Amino acid sequence: MEDKQRSILIESASRFPPPQGVKISYGTSGFRADASILSSTVYRVGILTALRSIQTQSVIGLMITASHNQVSDNGIKIADPSGGMLTQDWEPFADSIANAANPEDLVLLINEFIKKEHIPIGGVQSAEIFLGRDTRPSGESLLEAAKQGISSIVGAIATDMGILTTPQLHWMVRSKNKGTKVSESSYFEQFSNSFRCLMDLIPREDTSSSKIVENLIVDGANGVGGEKLEELKKLVKDLVIEVRNSGKEGEGTLNERVGADFVQKEKVAPLGFSEDDAGIRCASLDGDADRLVYFYIVPNSNKKIDLVDGDKILSLFALFIKQQLSVSNKDHPIKLGVVQTAYANGASTDYLKNLGLEVVFTPTGVKYLHEKAAEYDIGIYFEANGHGTILFSEHFISWLERRINELASTSEGSEQHKAALRLLAISNLINQAVGDALSGLLLVEAILLYNGWSIQRWNELYQDLPSRQLKVKVADRNAVTTANAETVVVKPSGLQEAINIEFAKFPQGRSFIRPSGTEDVIRVYAEASSQEAADNLAKSVAEHVDRFLG
């Protein structure tokens, strides 16, 4: 490292001292903590993204958001050149620089890393980082810290893309690195055009009918997703969408008894919904709009809901794609795979396997699911919490385009031709960089209309096994290690045996634990044949966790 570069780093780092007595860890999707202690971390991640951009000679993204966390928190997510999450190889470096005690130690770590990775800094190499933030009040000051970190690397440029959803920033990074147009308007244009294309391919007995009669009500979590959905819905005339909890000033607090995480965990309707909405198709976004769940309120139930979660969204997508593949292609072998985590409801896995689909499991975390899904011609992944997407390989898209051309010349307008066009439209409608609640919502709506299904009919694809999730606070979450896609406890010794004894007591019992990626808690999941049994199983397992780790 040249002296000039070293002195710039020392001087700028001194303006962002790390919080004393606090260790900040890189979780499943980045850093997250109370916003008041994050300036140093965001500054240092700015440095990391600049180095990553130089190494890859690509645009990198830095998103300031804490997703579904409370409004006083904030965090950082990093978008790699593909639009996906930061490569796991760089996570230890992220951890180490976030916790460097002083500027000198920080520069030493950076110098060792650039030597090991052969990253040339201080020369003519350039770097560009796209910055985005959600609507949290702390976002603006943290954005400035990120800019300071980026500009402390010679040749690095920060481009502020404004207030965005997390998926919008990831999409922009992917698009820029593929050489296509990048702006918020081009994001809206691609997805609204692809939605219209898919709608045009829906068979209608009455071609004059182009409206969905039943309204869709969307809970925007009082976050950035509600704001962006208001813009998107102006471009999709085939849908009638009412946005609640849109984040307008004075309307409510971000993620407070609203949003996909609240709805999925608590299984009650969010604030702003009432018994008057019973039976209506509803959806809920999370704070940065990378999660989506559907629900409907059960009549006379005190706002209790039937949840249509990420597992059901995955099943809807998988069924539709499988159907279109079977029509459009008779001979060419297509590798279609479904990727889940241990949190997937056991009934969903059975349903997908009964469709004849290949189902594989990974540890919790989108980075694991995304990587596995990329191994297929078409890889579909979703977590039960509503975070997921569909990946189409370049090889498959090339084959599909050739197939469409062949069918256009021999049997244009045939069902085979239309099915192939639907698959191409889906590849453009779904955000292949990362889970995107807005693009996912448009795809759900198009498929429901194609099938002529209500949300109740969709929910009847299979009957979920009752489940319960709990959190157990511990001194050190790293005291627990797991294997087999987080379904088996390796450490501490004896805990897995205790869990096995508990779930053997319950019909269709299943339970596992895993350390949180963001906080010192152990997450407990349990399912069984009845809600009472699932609740009791989760409670018993949580007590064992407390006993072994207390």
Q: Please report which helix (H) or strand (E) contains residue 163, including its range.
A: strand 156-163
Q: Please report the pLDDT score of residue 331 as a whole number.
A: 77
Domain of 526, CATH number, reads 3.30.310.50
Asked if 302 and 352 sit in the same domain, the reply is: no
Contacts of 11 (CB under 8 A, 6+ apart): none
Distance, CA of 231 to CA of 84 (rounded, Å): 25
Counted domains in the chain: 4
Mean pLDDT to the nearest integer, 500-508: 95
Quote the tokens at residue 338.
């479904």
Please tell me whether the peptide bond between 137 and the residue prior to it is cis, using omega within 30 degrees of 0.
no
Q: Contact, 171 vs 433, CB < 8 A? A: yes
Q: Contact, 270 vs 293, CB < 8 A? A: no
Distance, CA of 511 to CA of 453 (rounded, Å): 33
Asked if 366 and 330 sit in the same domain, the reply is: yes
| HSE toward the beta carbon, residue 456, CA cutoff 13 A | 7
Q: Contact, 65 vs 163, CB < 8 A? A: no
Quote the tokens at residue 170.
């990831």
Q: Which of 12, 25, 67, 540 is catalytic?
A: 67
Asked if 253 and 334 sit in the same domain, the reply is: no
Asked if 9 and 150 sit in the same domain, the reply is: yes
Inform me whether the pLDDT recorded for 440 exceeds 50. Answer: yes
Asked if 244 and 280 sit in the same domain, the reply is: yes
Q: Contact, 386 vs 403, CB < 8 A? A: no
> In sequence order, what E strands does 342-387 have?
358-361, 378-382
Asked if 300 and 319 sit in the same domain, the reply is: no
The answer on whether 518 is annotated among ligand-binding residues is yes
**Residue 185 forms part of a structural domain:** no
| HSE toward the beta carbon, residue 331, CA cutoff 13 A | 2
pLDDT interval class at 423 (50, 70, 90): very high
The answer to whether 67 is a known catalytic residue is yes
Mean pLDDT to the nearest integer, 504-526: 92
Distance, CA of 380 to CA of 339 (rounded, Å): 6
Give the closest residue to 83 by CA, choosing from 177, 173, 160, 168: 173
**Residue 393 forms part of a structural domain:** yes
Asked if 8 and 78 sit in the same domain, the reply is: yes
| Residue at which a domain ends, from 428, 459, 490 | 459
| Residue at which a domain ends, from 260, 291, 306 | 306
Q: Contact, 406 vs 335, CB < 8 A? A: no
The answer on whether 290 is annotated among ligand-binding residues is yes
> In sequence order, what E strands does 216-319 have?
216-219, 241-244, 282-285, 292-297, 305-308
Domain of 113, CATH number, reads 3.40.120.10
The answer on whether 383 is annotated among ligand-binding residues is yes
Return mean pLDDT, the chain. 94
Asked if 302 and 168 sit in the same domain, the reply is: no
**Residue 184 forms part of a structural domain:** no
Write out the DSSP string of 19-77: PTT------SSSEEEEGGG-HHHHHHHHHHHHHHHHHHTS-EEEEE--TTS-TTEEEEE
Q: Contact, 98 vs 9, CB < 8 A? A: no
The answer on whether 517 is annotated among ligand-binding residues is yes
Inform me whether the pLDDT recorded for 446 exceeds 60. Answer: yes
| HSE toward the beta carbon, residue 460, CA cutoff 13 A | 5
Asked if 518 and 430 sit in the same domain, the reply is: no
Task: List, for residues 64-107, the tens digit of each pLDDT value.
Answer: 999 999 999 999 999 999 999 999 999 999 999 999 999 999 99
The answer on whether 204 is annotated among ligand-binding residues is no
The residue to which tokens 């004849």 are assigned: 356
Asked if 292 and 207 sit in the same domain, the reply is: yes
Q: Please report the pLDDT score of residue 124 as a whole number.
A: 65
Q: Please report the pLDDT score of residue 160 as a whole number.
A: 98
Q: pTM for the complete prediction?
A: 0.93
| Residue at which a domain ends, from 427, 459, 491 | 459
Q: Please report the pLDDT score of residue 205 as a whole number.
A: 61
In degrees and rounded to multiples of 5, residue 359 shows phi and psi of -120, 125
Task: List, for residues 294-351, the tens digit of each pLDDT value.
Answer: 999 999 888 899 999 999 999 999 999 999 999 998 778 899 999 999 999 999 999 9
Name the percent of the chain lying above pLDDT 70: 98
Count of CB atoms situated within 10 Å of the CB of 213: 6
The answer on whether 385 is annotated among ligand-binding residues is yes
The residue to which tokens 């898209």 are assigned: 397
> How does DSSP classify residue 236?
-
Distance, CA of 164 to CA of 183 (rounded, Å): 11
The answer on whether 523 is annotated among ligand-binding residues is yes
Q: Please report the pLDDT score of residue 210 as a whole number.
A: 43
Asked if 392 and 500 sit in the same domain, the reply is: no
Instruction: Name the residue range of residue 343's domain.
Output: 311-459
pLDDT interval class at 265 (50, 70, 90): confident
Inform me whether the pLDDT recorded for 209 exceeds 60. Answer: no
Inform me whether the pLDDT recorded for 42 exceeds 90. Answer: yes
Name the percent of the chain lying above pLDDT 90: 89
Asked if 400 and 496 sit in the same domain, the reply is: no
Instruction: Return the biggest CA–CA distance within the chain.
Output: 73
Relative to beta strand 388-392, strand 510-515 is unpaired
What number of H helices and E strands is found in the chain?
A: 18, 19
Count of CB atoms situated within 10 Å of the CB of 397: 16
Inform me whether the pLDDT recorded for 207 exceeds 50. Answer: no
